[in-house]
Structure 1
Amino acid sequence: MKSKMVLSALLSISLMASGCAAGGKEASSGASAGQGGKPEAKKIVKIGITQIVEHPSLDAARQGFIAALKDNGYVEKDNLEIDVQIAQGDATNNLSIAQKFATNKKDLVLAIATPSAQAAAQAIKDTPILFTAITDPLGAKLVQSLEKPGANVTGTSDTHPEAITKLMDFIAKDFPKTKTVGIVANEGEQNSLVNVKKAEESLSKLGIKVAKASVSNGSEVKQAAESLVGRVDAIYIPKDNTVVSSLESVIQTAEKNKIPLFVGEKDSVKRGGFASYGFDYYDLGYTTGKMAVDILKNGKKPADIPVGFPDTLDLALNMKAAKSEGIDVTQSMKDKVKDKKNIIE
């Protein structure tokens, strides 16, 4: 009887131990799946994009940035949340967007164009900030140096050192009757100031005068362009966000009065400017997106990522614009275009 009782007790202990072991496996399995046995939620990377205005070059930079993220495994509605905010050229909106992103604690902020980058750098101190389409990162006081930016801000500049000089040389050599070039610009934009100064210096060396028409917002662009009629032989529109966002007003004036229109980037050539030395802003944005991947995936700090610059430059010509603006396109002009896709029919 006693031996039977001992055997029964041992059997109960064995069954209890077996049950505990099974329960341990279930607990272990539940922990790996997340609390309550549910799979752990994917980490959603939150990115804020602030952009001063919408126009093709800035939009292309944004699209290139997002494409680079996607190519490296960050996909919207899966593991990526993107909040795009456009300031519509308004300084108050611009600062409000930056402050909103600071409050919302994004994982990373992309600032497109100089005013947006300056506002973001001012408002956001504990989140990585990348900029793109910036003319002069040092002059805008966004970085301490181009090689070692310092702090939490770095990105890509849209300034190729030879772009403006080459375009002004093109005007002087291929439009030899040009005595005065008109420039429409918002010199309240730091990036525009840099471009205008560079153009003025280049034209002065070539013996060509400059007539400037200043604007402070997009509604003034048409009148400013019209004020140059009869005073200039050509018009140059720099990389100026205020003017480029209202470029059609300048194009209409150039076509109506048969004035050659030169612009600061290839996207404005596609819209109706006659010529520019430029590159693709989509590629610039893509390069910036790869910087974002280095920060998000590889743990790099903006302070240690050098500022990037365009590594390609080519002349772009718009044949339809040439006809509308009374330009006789010579073979010499076409021969200066390296990639014939940049001759837009």
Structure 2
Amino acid sequence: MSSEAELRRDRPHRVAVLVRPGVMPLELGLVHQLFGSARRQSGPGVGSPLYDVVTCATEPGRLPTDADFPIHVPHGPEVIDDAETVLVPASGEPGQPETGGPLGPALAAALARVRPGTRIASICTGAFVLAAAGLLDGRRITTHWRSADAFRLRFPHIALDPDVLFTDGGDVLTSAGEAAGIDLCLHLIRRDHGAAVAADVARRTVVPPYREGGQAQYVPQPVPDAAGTSTAPARAWALERLDRPVSLSQLAEHASMSVRTFTRRFRAETGCSPGRWLTQQRVERARVLLEETDRPVDTVAGDVGFGTSASLRAHFRDVLGVSPGVYRATFRGGMPHD
């Protein structure tokens, strides 16, 4: 968490979005919308922007998109020099690395401007660019599931996991298709500034505040046993009682399904098991309580249904890699106390 703590500075964190001909407007827009919505929640400068998002290309000027309109890119690659995060969205234009084209000297020169220690991330098939530049060697990464076979053919030495929404390798992150870019951006905001800021951004943009990176990319639509059946009411019920034990049989009963049907439907709708989903929701609730309250870790553990501080610490370390005390110290200040 120390690396994330270093990102919390008085000035906004600069995000350079490196776009190419054929850029997908949705991917470019979501980066600006999400990072641009992040605001300081308290203290001096409350309400001020936490990120400075700039769009750049190998050459500034008019750039075609994969839609029927172009965009104007105001900056050249020089803005990468002082960026703290560089984001590479996908391109749908033939001749790009996604379609078997070479990296090209101009794009290679732009990526060479990334300073050591700068965070770099890709959305969708932008991973092809990072791979072609040698930035993904030795890492576990993801890209859009429909491009997985093409990626493996071009980069067989890179460990590709096409079944997740995003991967976080610390200073290098990758994500799946367009909507997974939302999850990646929120994940980065959460890493930098905590769950409360990320939740505020999600509320502003009316998107789910949290989907774990390991959740499945592609979930086939379930075939209902009866019209209108869903596990959503059971999930809403569980969220209202995270401080209490919630069993699989209770969830199934609340959804008026057998345990077997409920488990199958739940995985089809969410991409994970009921038990894993409950753990995710409890960790997220604990993050908010650690940031926004002074409740002792033991109390927080009970409030979110983990029962004991030892259980909370174990789940926190498993999901976030740090203890609850270190997490609180990072996003509330002070010394960690576990």
> TM-score, normalised to structure 2's length?
0.32
Higher strand share: 1
Higher RCO, 1 or 2 (CA under 8 Å, sep at least 6)?
Answer: 1
Rg: which structure is higher?
1
> TM-score, normalised to structure 1's length?
0.32
